[in-house]
Amino acid sequence: MASRDTMTRCEVDLRPGGSFLYEWPEFFFSGPILVVDAPHRMVHVEHFNGDTSSGPTVTTDLVARATGTRMTMTMRYADAEARAAAIELGFTDGLDEVFGRLEALTIAE
């Protein structure tokens, strides 16, 4: 979750029924963790700044591929309007940078 701003707090209770909190100086994401099938899948709901009235359900799948791992993240919003509002508010800003950093990682053996 690295971005231009430094994350100031990161708390994760990684189990179904657990929760997470990712905090930066200006905003935070938090929510319940619904599914954990470590190390293959996690499903959680992502609330922005504590607004529990909206937010996508996020499914992250990890699959071993040759010498690496394929990560697929799907964000499902309640409807097209909610998705459009998230894009308009800038929720996708910086994702290319964040995922580009992940893609560039290599693990020393």
Q: Which two tokens stand for residue 99?
A: 């995922």
pLDDT of residue 3: 58
The closest of 100, 97, 86 to 4, measured between CA atoms, is 97
The superfamily CATH assigns to domain 9-104 is START domain (3.30.530.20)
> 12 vs 18, 32, 47, 109, CA distance in Å?
8, 10, 14, 27
pLDDT of residue 109: 43
pLDDT of residue 34: 98
Q: Which residues of the chain have pLDDT under 70?
A: 1-4, 106-109
pLDDT of residue 93: 82
pTM equals 0.85
Q: How many CB atoms lie within 10 A of CB 51?
A: 9
pLDDT of residue 108: 45
Number of H helices, E strands in the chain: 2, 7
pLDDT tens digits for range 95-104:
888 788 777 7
